[in-house]
Structure 1
Amino acid sequence: MLNFWDIFQHLFNPRWIFFYFGNTTLFIILAIIFAETGFFIGFFLPGDSLLFTAGIFGEDLCKNFYNVPFFVIILIVAFVAILGNIQGYWLGYKSGKFLYKKKDSFLFKKKHLIIAKLFYNKYKTTALIMSRFLPMFRTFAPIVAGAIRVDFKKFMIYNIIGALIWTFSIMLSGHYLDKKFPELKNHLEWIIFLIVLMTTFPLLFKIKIRKKLLI
C-alpha cells in the first residue's frame, strides 16, 4: 500500500494517476486542478500534462462517470478550475498582506508572489486568462487579484473565460489527437515529457518578464 510520500511523488506522473486510481481518476483530477489554482502550494502540480492526458483517456473518464459526454467532463473540470480561482482570490483577499510578510519555506516562495503581481500589474485582468497557460502564474494570479482587491465581478468574467479556454483547448487537443493517432497511448511518457519541456518555456518567459518589469 502506498504511503503519502509515494503518492506525492507520483502526482508528477499523470499516467500513474490514471492507472492507479481507475474509476476515481476524475475526482483526483478535480482535486489537483482545484489545489493548483486555489492554494499557493499548488504551483508544482502537473495541471497542463494532466488535462492533456485526461483528453487522451477521455472515453475512459466518461465510462467511469455515468457515461456522460466528454463535453460534460470538460465543463466539470472547467467549473472546478473556476472554483479554484475563487478560492485563490479569497485567499489573497483575506491574507494578502500576511502572505507578503510570510517567510520563505519549501512550499512557499515570496518571490513567486511578487513576480505574479508584476505580471498582473502589466497585463491587468487579462492576466487571469494568460496565466492559465503559465505554470506558477496559474496559481498566484488569482491570489494577487484578491490581494489588490480587484472588483469581484470583473475577476469572475476573466476567471470563467480563462478556465473555459484552458480546459477546452488542452483536453480537446489530447482527445482528438488520440482519435487521429490511437497509438499515442503507447508513447504517453514521451508526450508528457514534451509537454513538460513546453511548459518550461513560460518559466523562461517569466524571467524575461521579471527583468523587464524591474527595469
Structure 2
Amino acid sequence: MSVTSTIVEPVLNFSGVPAYALVGGLAFGEAALFFGFLLPGETAVIIGGVLAYQQSVSLTVMSLVVVTAAILGDSVGYEVGKRYGGRLLGTRIFARHQEAIAGAQGFLRRSGGRAVFLGRFTAFLRAVMPGMAGAARMPYRKFLIFNALGGITWGLGFTLLGYLAGASYHRLELYAGRFSQAILLVVLVAVAILLIRRHRAKAAMLAADALPPAHERTSPDSAARPSAES
C-alpha cells in the first residue's frame, strides 16, 4: 500500500462535519501550507466524492467546501509569496525543485493568468504557482479571476469524478496522477523550447555585434585592386 493510500484510506470512514473539515483542509493546505508536496489535493477531493457516493456527506456541500477551500488556500499562498517569496523559494523544502521552479517561473512570466489556471491541474504547480504569482507581484484581481476559474473547474470536476467512480476510486486516482504528470511535462517542454530560442537569439545578437561596421568592411576585390594614385 502506498503512502498516499495509507493517509487517505481512514478518510473513507469519516462522515458529516469531520469529513468536510478534513477534505477541505487538505484542499486548502495544498498551496497555503505546501501540503501538495506530500499529498496531491485531487486525491483528497476524489475521496470526498467517494464519500458523497457512499452518502456519508452531501455531494453539493462537499463540492462547495472543496471549491471554497481551494480558492482561499491559493489566496493565502499568493499573500505568502508576495511577502516572503524570494526567501521562501530558497529554503530547504524547495532545494530539490529549483529546476522545476525556474521552469514554472518562466511559464508564469510567459502565460500570466493562464499559468495560474493551468497550474491548478498539476500537483507541483498547484503548490507553488500561487506563491510565485504573489512574488511576481501579479495584480491580485487578475490572480483571483483565474484562480477562481481553476478552483471551480478543478473542485467540481474531481469531486464529481470521485462520486461517479464510487468504489473504483483507486483507478481514478491513478488516472488523475497521470493527467497531472502529462500537463507538467507539456509545461516543461514549452519552457525548454522558449529557453533554447532565447539562447539562439542571444547568440545571433552577439555574433552580429562582433562584426565590424559595414563602412569598415573591405571586399577582397577592392583590397587587391591598386589605387589610382599608384
TM-score by length of 2: 0.72
Is 1:191 the equivalent of 2:172? Answer: yes
Residues 197 and 89 (structure 1 numbering): CA distance in 2 closer, same or farther, change over 3 Å? Answer: same
Q: How many percent identity over aligned positions?
A: 25
Alignment partners' CA distance in 2, 1:144 and 1:169 = 25
The corresponding residue for 2:189 is 208
Larger CA Rg, structure 1 vs 2: 2
Which letter maps to 1:161? L
1:214 Cα deviation after fit: 2.0
Alignment partners' CA distance in 2, 1:212 and 1:21 = 46
The corresponding residue for 1:16 is 9
Residues 107 and 39 (structure 1 numbering): CA distance in 2 closer, same or farther, change over 3 Å? Answer: farther
Residues 161 and 174 (structure 1 numbering): CA distance in 2 closer, same or farther, change over 3 Å? Answer: same
Query: Residue 104 of structure 1 contacts residue 110 of structure 1 at CA under 8 Å; is this kept in 2?
Result: no
Alignment partners' CA distance in 1, 2:96 and 2:39 = 14
1:191 Cα deviation after fit: 3.0
Alignment partners' CA distance in 1, 2:94 and 2:74 = 22
Q: 1:137 aligns with which of 122, 125, 128?
A: 125
1:109 aligned counterpart, secondary structure: helix
Which letter maps to 1:189? H
Which letter maps to 1:51? V
- Superposition map of 1:89-108 within 5 A: 89-100=78-89, 102-105=90-93
Alignment partners' CA distance in 1, 2:24 and 2:95 = 21
Q: 2:47 aligns with which of 49, 53, 61?
A: 53
Where does the alignment leave 5 or more consecutive residues of structure 1 unmatched?
1-8, 179-183
Residues 112 and 13 (structure 1 numbering): CA distance in 2 closer, same or farther, change over 3 Å? Answer: farther
Alignment partners' CA distance in 1, 2:38 and 2:191 = 20
Alignment partners' CA distance in 1, 2:34 and 2:81 = 10
Q: Choose 47-56 or 116-125, whichever is displaced more.
A: 47-56
Size of the alignment, in residue pairs? 194
Which letter maps to 1:162? G
Alignment partners' CA distance in 2, 1:73 and 1:41 = 20
1:131 Cα deviation after fit: 1.0
Alignment partners' CA distance in 2, 1:192 and 1:25 = 18
TM-score by length of 1: 0.77
Which letter maps to 1:126? R
Is 1:88 the equivalent of 2:77? Answer: yes
1:81 Cα deviation after fit: 0.6
Query: Residue 90 of structure 1 contacts residue 143 of structure 1 at CA under 8 Å; is this kept in 2?
Result: yes
1:104 Cα deviation after fit: 4.0
Alignment partners' CA distance in 1, 2:158 and 2:179 = 13
Residues 208 and 155 (structure 1 numbering): CA distance in 2 closer, same or farther, change over 3 Å? Answer: same
1:150 aligned counterpart, secondary structure: coil
Query: Residue 45 of structure 2 contacts residue 158 of structure 2 at CA under 8 Å; is this kept in 1?
Result: yes
Alignment partners' CA distance in 2, 1:113 and 1:160 = 23
Q: 2:146 aligns with which of 125, 134, 158?
A: 158
Deviations 1:96-153, CA, capped at 9 Å, x for gaps: 22134x2544776333332221111121112111111122111111111100111112
The corresponding residue for 1:78 is 67
- Superposition map of 1:108-127 within 5 A: 109-127=97-115
CA RMSD in angstroms comes to 2.6
- Superposition map of 1:175-190 within 5 A: 175=163, 177-178=164-165, 184-185=166-167, 187-190=168-171
